[in-house]
Structure 1
């Protein structure tokens, strides 16, 4: 891509992501700030439904305010090239980080887990369900996570076109009720938080790899592989991935439990030094 290509007042520097409906560019705005510009693919730019989805994405992301969630900067649904602009998040997707460098260990994975729980809690506090909390949508810098991509997010309680056999989201990290065709809820995001955190801790998808059928079968049977996840995190993840969504605590509850653990460790370390 030529460095002079522009989209309105954004100068597009490089392509940093591409999906079936959109391409994501690293760009700079009029004052030189780096941003991420997500533009609908040309063949979808005039599609009313694609524009409605982009508008819904902007509305959902714009409601969330958290240092652990990429902020909405700008966007335009009208015009020949519909796009949404988000804060540029440096780092690496968890889905790339773990294969390259291995799982997060020790206190690092606990800090990661709490940061991601705070991200999900902020989304829920804003009245939004993310619907795709997964390693590919979590940027990591150091051990600090940032949740990105509100492409399929919905307002909590909004109608969702789902049915058995229809998979919306990242299959290996979906809650069982989603696989069965029920609408996504805050509890579904909590399940996905647990599965994503398990991946960060072990380097393995908690319900294995292979065919979609096999993965979904293990999710529905509750056969999560948590071997190697340290306590007390493993116990928390078991709570997050309970089969019954009503039995899962909230994301805010998990963030608080992990904060309590962090304080205990800090106090213990200070006592040892003294």
Structure 2
């Protein structure tokens, strides 16, 4: 076989690519996506890894960093056979990155583009494997949000689901509305496409699309401009005319517009076993021979660099440690890497754990990881660095201590005594301040904050009390109008571009998509369920954030938390919408607002 295919898979580093990230020496470029760039590297023991460096645009967004860190920590809990383990990461450095096991297999998107649809047995084994992966991912509290053929890799022993967690982190940044989309239109669910809301059932819809794509060789809702595909997903039925009849019941249920009508992952696995004419068992023969040949190409890895790397193009991250300078005449060799626990993965091209790679030469860069990690199976839980010789220790000369501290302390005590005497002369017999309105020395009764929200506070507690809520009833919010929580009373004003404006709350209608929604351009929304009571505490603790909620998800009395970037928090209670005979289109809401309940976010 020619070396050309492998050369195309592993592209050389270009100008601007770092030579080292987090202590890992980069060997090749695996791919580039909307969220970042993926490189091939190796652990000190020679295992290939896929290392993804997040784009600078996202790195500069503090909310993205916070959520990315949360998602990486959650991903470490994923211990599935159909996901690739997280090897290492840095969420706090100049550019966040995540390293996972390299999977030597093409993506489903690449395999179908090159060889067409898969046979029935391969499709069923693919569906079972992805369903099992999602079961583990959901068990860790993660919704994938961007399950698509490019995020399903075809390894020799079954599929691998990758790239979960990053999409939710990206949802937190305004970049998602300015050129970087979270979720691929052709594989979004109706609720995700229309209102941006996601749940485990969202991934089930995407799994139905994955199954159909693998069998048909093209998306069930067709190709074309994003808005056209999204319209078909929300309003039209998929084209399943070329789908094998055996798969029709399964795919039809997964692609139900109503999330409640979709099957559970356990049901999907059971249905696949029932549909298969033979027992489903993952093995080396699960893929057609032509697709399996792509795995062989991806096993022919480029070797690590054998010379010391140049300075990295990006600023050093906190995981690149700076050793203390040893004493003259000594050497400080590299320190073996500690590894974190296995979990999730994400790169465009990767490879299964356990695939051996070339052993790196002596002098491989050190990389102690940041923070406490649970070691992956087979990795050392600790290491002992080689001894370093330092100059003999000589204790410093003993210096007689000065008594400056005692003099200062005595002075402070004297000042306190004098102030106490003055205070007692200014007070009446009851100990109360006779001039309570003045800012007299020693008295802060009129200026100190009351403390916690229940009114109880210790003498030294200076915490800010929760603000008192202010209520407004029957606010009519007209289509294309927005309001600000800081206004008293909040008066709707007409907005130009609502999604990118300043409104804490707006009402919009997209007629060609038959979509009406409540949204925010200056914070986050949370649609509370029927068991939750809208309160300041609930809004502070709930994390199911979105920026838009479809009107068809609401009924009279539905409550929505509104969290403004300016620090205001409100509960909006939906009271209905205008009738068909009304001259305009509007909704009616009640508002209960806690102004300045949180610190305002910096612009």
TM-score under structure 2 normalisation? 0.40
Q: How many residues align?
A: 261
Structure 1: unaligned runs, 5 residues or longer: 268-274
Q: Which runs of 5+ in 2 are unaligned?
A: 1-12, 281-603
Q: Which residue of 1 aligns with 2:101?
A: 87
Q: What secondary structure does 2:249 align onto?
A: helix
Counterpart for residue 121 of structure 1: 135
- 1:60 corresponds to which residue? 74
Q: What does the per-residue CA deviation read over 1:26-51, in whole Å, with 9 as the maximum and x for residues that have no partner?
A: 11012111111111234654543342
Take 1:231 and 1:75, find their aligned partners in 2: how far apart are those partners? 45
Corresponding residue number in structure 2 for 1:31: 45
- Structure 2 residue aligned with 1:152: 167
Match of 1:69 in 2: 83
SS state of the match for residue 11, structure 1? strand
Matched-pair contact (CA < 8 Å) for 1:222–1:242:
no
CA distance in 2, matches of 1:69, 1:98: 21
Q: Give the one of 8, 22, 27 matched to 2:22.
A: 8
Pairing of 1:93-132 with structure 2 (within 5 A): 93-132=107-146
Q: Provide TM-score, normalisation by structure 1.
A: 0.85
Q: Would you tell me which structure has more helix in proportion to its own residues?
A: 1
> Bigger radius of gyration, 1 or 2?
2
Q: Would the alpha carbon gap of residues 188 and 108 (structure 1) be closer, same or farther in structure 2, given more than 3 Å must change?
A: same
Q: Distance in 1 between matches of 2:256 and 2:108?
A: 23
Within the candidate set 252, 273, 278, 1:265 is matched to 278
- 1:43-92 deviation line (CA, Å, top 9, x unaligned): 65454334224313312322211111122121112233421111211111
Report 1:83-232 matches (<5 A).
83-142=97-156, 144-150=158-164, 151-153=166-168, 168-232=182-246
Alpha-carbon contact 1:202-1:227 (below 8 Å) kept: no
C-alpha distance 167-38 of structure 1, shift in aligned 2 (>3 A): closer
- Answer yes or no: is the 8 Å Cα contact 1:42–1:81 preserved in 2: yes
CA contact (8 A) 1:68 1:145 kept: yes
CA–CA distance in 1 between the matches of 2:264 and 2:231? 25
The answer on whether the counterparts of 2:67 and 2:168 sit within 8 Å (CA) in structure 1 is no
Tell me the distance in 2 between the aligned counterparts of 1:245 and 1:4.
44
CA distance 1:212–1:20, shift in 2 (3 Å): closer
Is residue 131–residue 189 contact of structure 1 (8 Å, CA) maintained in 2?
Answer: yes
Say what the alpha-carbon RMSD is for the aligned residues. 2.8
